């Protein structure tokens, strides 16, 4: 996220704080941003609210009384309302700190932008808090994902134990043991303590819940777990046949689990994946 605070009439950049690299001069960007806002006000009788440009999402906030313009840019995957909420907090704090009233503001703002430099420290505090909140949200999502995959694997293990017997059961268990052995000797798994915690024992089942999300890469862990789950289901289908396997999935309430957790699974982009995993040949 990059932040500009500007004099809206002159286009002078009062303060610029960058958390993303931009291969352009900040003052040139400032002039372009204010000119673009003035153009839209002239043509459409109102300034810019938000716009996507140059691979980024830009949000504008004006304070007409003091001719101030606040702009934030962030990546396209960040919600505009989130950017606007953060920019509003910056705008409110800046006005509270520097603008007591119009006379006071005219007395302070005489072209010396250095007086606003200390405000960057406050932006840093805000940014640190926002990143910490994002980290907590990501960890919560990670725990949800681990819990879902652990439950689905547990249901598959119960299905093997309670519905399949004899040679077919032995073949399934041997193939899953081999699958997890092959997984454990992969270089990236051997070199990653958290990935190496993913395991299978024929008498106790699957274990992924011991992974520490704070020490893991969510995308990497999810990729490995999905790969293992895909192969576990494939092994079961190959050994007992698709129709019998589908009946087992229904009897062990694996399908019920997926359908009863549509909301959470959809939020985590897992609903369609799990449904196709169970229903497709």
Q: Residue 2 pairs with which residues in a beta bridge?
A: 18, 73
* pLDDT of 42: 44
Please write the tens of the pLDDT for every residue from 140-173. Answer: 888 888 999 999 999 999 999 988 999 999 999 9
Tens-digit pLDDT profile for residues 101-128:
777 777 777 778 888 999 999 999 888 8
Torsion angle of C-alpha atoms 57, 124, 138, 200, degrees rounded to 10 = 130
pLDDT, position 233: 94
Q: Is the pLDDT of residue 225 over 70?
A: yes
- Chain segment 5-56, per-residue pLDDT in tens: 988 777 788 888 888 876 555 555 555 565 555 545 544 444 556 667 667 7
The pLDDT, as a whole number, for residue 219 is: 80
- Is residue 26 within 8 A of residue 2, CB to CB? The reply is no
- All structural domains of the chain with their residue ranges: 2-117, 137-279
The yes-or-no verdict on residue 239 having pLDDT over 70 is yes
For residue 229 the two structure tokens come to 């789950």
The answer to whether 227 touches 215, Cβ cutoff 8 Å, is no
Q: What is the pTM of this model?
A: 0.59
Report in angstroms the alpha-carbon separations of 63 from 17, 47, 71, 93, 164. Answer: 19, 11, 11, 13, 70
Mean pLDDT of the chain: 83
- CB contact at 8 A, 153 and 159: no
2-117 in CATH: which number? 3.30.450.70
């Amino acid at each position: 996220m990059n932040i500009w605070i500007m004099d809206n009439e002159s286009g002078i950049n009062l303060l610029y704080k960058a958390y993303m690299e931009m291969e352009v001069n900040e003052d040139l960007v400032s002039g372009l941003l204010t000119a673009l806002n003035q153009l839209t006000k002239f043509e459409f009788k109102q300034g810019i609210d938000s716009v996507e440009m140059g691979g980024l999402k830009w949000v504008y906030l004006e304070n007409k009384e003091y001719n101030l313009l606040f702009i934030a840019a962030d990546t396209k995957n960040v919600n505009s309302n989130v950017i606007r909420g953060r920019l509003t907090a910056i705008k409110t704090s800046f006005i509270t700190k520097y603008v007591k009233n119009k006379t006071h503001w005219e007395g302070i703002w005489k072209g010396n932008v250095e007086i606003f430099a200390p405000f960057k420290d406050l932006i840093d505090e805000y940014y640190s808090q926002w990143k910490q909140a994002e980290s907590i949200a990501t960890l919560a999502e990670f725990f949800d994902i681990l819990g879902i995959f652990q439950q689905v694997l547990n249901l598959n293990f119960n299905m093997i134990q309670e519905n399949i017997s004899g040679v077919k059961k032995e073949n399934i268990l041997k193939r899953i043991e081999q699958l997890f052995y092959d997984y454990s000797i992969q270089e990236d798994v051997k070199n990653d303590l958290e990935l190496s915690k993913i395991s299978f024992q024929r008498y106790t089942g699957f274990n992924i819940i011991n992974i520490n999300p704070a020490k893991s890469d969510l995308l990497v862990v999810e990729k490995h777990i999905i790969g293992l789950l895909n192969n576990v289901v494939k092994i079961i289908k190959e050994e007992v046949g698709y129709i019998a396997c589908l009946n087992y999935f229904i009897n062990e309430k694996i399908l019920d689990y997926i359908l009863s957790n549509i909301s959470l699974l959809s939020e985590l982009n897992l609903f369609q994946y799990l449904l196709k995993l169970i229903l497709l040949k």
